Chains A and B, each alone.
Chain A
């Protein structure tokens, strides 16, 4: 690829798509035909490649940079029923200065919270260049009416969210009502205004890699800026093979449209070792251009602390302990 991604905010109009994708992006039977016509994925082959790439090491010299890259990709997340303004302010403080002892530590990409806490997050972050992402559309199940879902999106966007993480209606998807899922993403897309849209597929409920691939294309056709694996509330959450499928899809999207789209694995990524495996996958499956927070994010809560500990190990020359980084409680 000759040029690099400049900006991702706001989705391209379908009119700029090549003919076959433009046709599919009209929804209905054309969309269904396109999705059903996608080539199959062989599960065993996919998993073998993911495992093989997962075994690839980053190398001692590249590791500090890889860790910093990973830290910059974290969407620091709290999505609990017990979340309070206090908890959000604590996370915001951490987002601002992840490791007070090491001021050169990069900042995370965004803070990810429920819609009613977006205002709190925005206020707590102030001018700090860390985004605020909000889940929406009846997260995590997606089981509500369109009206309620859109109201949530508006709540988040009005409160100042830069990014919206919506969930798709998996029930509709699994019963083959692709058009409904597509229309809903479209509506959310327009309700987002200038906010960046991440579409959560909840791959753990989709059953097959073929379905994951289908849902990824569906989301991109409907105008997603990012495709995201999971809510973190369903097991399995993100896995390497599933992330491969998403990465492969955004790469093909770029090849066919020239538009940059991102990927966010979420849930279950807890250690630096995990994160680095994902970065290898990003580099090999999508391409090195995707090694930027504009195109790749980690949805995680515990991961940041492990990254910080490993970072200290690299810098200080001895192993770090958990009491030297701030707990996220």
Chain B
């Protein structure tokens, strides 16, 4: 036994080897079943935790995009569109298995490219990505029973533009149902996080997926918008911010094509005085800081019943201070790096605005690495409905605390936003939780829990969060022409 008065032991870093990612020096476009250099300008992908360059990434020129759409169109016409549902099911199953088999490698790669903690990539992103493929493998030959009438038809070529917060998981959430429904896809991952999608292309090859069924391009917002309005794309799909979603809708107005939109919006946790307080504290902290707060529907706002607010905020800060911030490859890390310099800059400005607006700021004293895009988890109290902090989507490791007096007020405040994605309700009273859930204008409500996702459970928003769903029977509608 050691002397209890001696200094306590410290966590030893438990780093995952970056070598596991099998990082290549160059990543290429995937068109019609083969990798190609692309005629666009090359870019580099950066590790946000170190600001070091990870690899060179091929660029997409107009000709590449035309080729990809043509390949997808040909594949739909000649190979995939006429394929039996059960055959599609088996291809999806193969992709699910390959994702499981190469899970560790992809998790490390995802962590390097996004800055997210490797433990989370291993335990959340990868298993879920595989689960979406597995779930939809089961749908491919059962679409007659999905509730859209007999033999529902696919659109044809789907163009998908994906975000940087969950590159591989959002790919799975969009690509799996699109393929299950009989479409072919042209996918453009986010500019800052293209690597896992391009490795997914290898999986498509290994699965022997017919060429052209999945095509992967690279590029920024400009390329994305071009893809979504490409005349050869029958169904455009966008996952990302409301601002961009709006722009896409304007652009597609009058073309007869309605985009699938899964957009943003901060989530709200509502904590009643009778909440299971320990679990509520944990849920609120996880809700706000999971994936550095880079989550659509992150619990960036918490509404606490005024009679318990003061103590609750103290406990939230106390718990937040125990989050380990730093090297994403360290398996003990809870909060990794913010995804890019631009994002760090945006969030930092919002934090400054919060202070200027008079909210009270507390930031975790946890030391931050010297290099990389890090931001200490931050809790603002004394936030009010009229402040930008409460109204804008934060999309970073910042939690705002507001209070309410009675349930009606909590509901009114939670609904007082043009978004409507997700909310959490914390109470030991079933009737109160369900009453509140009923009145919240959000697509998802978590009672006494937060950030639960499952391929069987439709996930998506209302109003300016975009109203399409991923997962479950409802999620198929986006990719069926019904």
Contacts and interface: CB of A to CB of B under 8 A. Distances in A.
Interface of A: 36, 40, 42-44, 174-176, 205-208, 210-211
B406 A207 contact: yes
Contact of B405 (A42, A43, A207, A210): A207
B274 A175 contact: no
A206 B407 CA distance: 10
A40 B406 contact: no
Given A36-B273, A40-B274, A176-B273, 19 more contacts: A40-B429, A43-B435, A44-B431, A174-B306, A174-B307, A175-B306, A175-B307, A175-B405, A205-B406, A206-B406, A207-B405, A207-B406, A207-B407, A207-B408, A208-B406, A208-B407, A210-B274, A210-B429, A211-B406
A207 B405 CA distance: 8
B61 interface: no
Contacts of A176: 273, 306-308
Q: Is the interface of B mostly helix, strand, loop or mixed?
A: helix
A50 B423 CA distance: 33
A211 B407 CA distance: 11
Nearest to B306: A175
Interface residues of B, number: 14
Contact of A174 (B405, B408, B432): B405
Interface of B: 273-274, 306-308, 405-409, 429, 431-432, 435
Contacts of B306: 174-176
B270 to A, nearest CB: 13
A230 to B, nearest CB: 15
A207 B411 CA distance: 12
25 contacts: A36-B273, A40-B274, A40-B429, A43-B431, A43-B435, A44-B431, A174-B306, A174-B405, A174-B406, A175-B306, A175-B307, A175-B405, A176-B273, A176-B306, A205-B406, A206-B406, A207-B405, A207-B406, A207-B407, A207-B409, A208-B406, A208-B407, A208-B432, A210-B274, A210-B429
B431 A42 contact: yes
Nearest to B307: A176
A176 B304 CA distance: 12
Contacts of A36: 273
Contacts of A207: 405-409
A126 to B, nearest CB: 45
Nearest to A175: B306
A42 B432 CA distance: 9
A176 B307 CA distance: 4
Contacts of B308: 176
Contacts of A206: 406
A301 to B, nearest CB: 28
Residue of B307, B408, B429 most packed against chain A (CB within 10 A): B307
A43 B431 CA distance: 8
Contacts of A208: 406-407, 432
A169 to B, nearest CB: 13
Contacts of A43: 431, 435
Residue of B405, B408, B432 most packed against chain A (CB within 10 A): B405
Contacts of B408: 207
Contacts of B409: 207
A210 B429 CA distance: 11
Contacts of A211: 406
B137 to A, nearest CB: 42
B427 to A, nearest CB: 10
B377 to A, nearest CB: 27
Nearest to A45: B431
B384 to A, nearest CB: 15
A199 to B, nearest CB: 19
B248 to A, nearest CB: 42
Nearest to A205: B406
Contacts of B407: 207-208
B267 to A, nearest CB: 23
Residue of A43, A207, A211 most packed against chain B (CB within 10 A): A207
A95 B102 CA distance: 88
A20 B308 CA distance: 24
